[in-house]
């Protein structure tokens, strides 16, 4: 399986509900480093997994929808703890939709798997991986 990774980052504020989260129940900020890894069994006609420019630009656009936002104020996340794991799946879903919509080019429809990893710090991260 071939893979290609693009990286970006975004910053958010949020709080969590539930005693499990201790002090993170209070409003706090996070800066995530995001790795999107695209996988496919065969390279496209140009010898690529995906066009790196389109992949980078699309990831940046998707992260821009979250960047510098208080996620507690976003209607799409009402009643949801926006944990690192939850955000990894959210960004995964949005990037898969972009692939299906052709925003990463027609050849990107050959991508079979995507791994979305959000690095919360240098010692902690979460991922969601699935079929495209």
pLDDT, mean over the chain: 97
For the segment 63-83, what is each residue's pLDDT rounded down to a tens digit? 999 999 999 999 999 999 999
Please state, in angstroms and rounded to a whole number, the distance separating the CA atoms of residues 83 and 81. Answer: 6
pLDDT for 104: 97
For the segment 79-119, what is each residue's pLDDT rounded down to a tens digit? 999 999 999 999 999 999 999 999 999 999 999 999 999 99
- With a threshold of 0.75, does the pTM exceed it? yes
CA of 93: how far to CAs of 107, 114, 123, 131, in Å? 19, 10, 25, 10
pLDDT for 59: 98
% the chain with pLDDT above 70: 100
């Amino acid at each position: 399986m071939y893979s290609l990774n693009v990286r970006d980052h975004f910053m958010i504020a949020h709080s969590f509900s539930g005693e499990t989260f201790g002090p993170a129940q209070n409003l706090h900020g996070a800066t995530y480093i995001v790795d999107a890894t695209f996988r496919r069994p065969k390279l496209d006609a140009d010898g690529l997994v995906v066009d790196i420019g389109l992949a980078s630009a699309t990831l940046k656009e998707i992260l821009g929808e979250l960047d510098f936002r208080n996620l507690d104020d976003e209607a799409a996340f009402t009643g949801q703890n926006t944990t690192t794991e939850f955000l990894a799946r959210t960004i995964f879903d949005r990037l898969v939709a972009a692939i299906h919509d052709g925003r990463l080019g027609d050849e990107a429809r050959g991508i079979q798997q995507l791994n979305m990893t959000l690095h919360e710090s240098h010692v902690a991260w979460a991922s969601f991986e699935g079929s495209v």
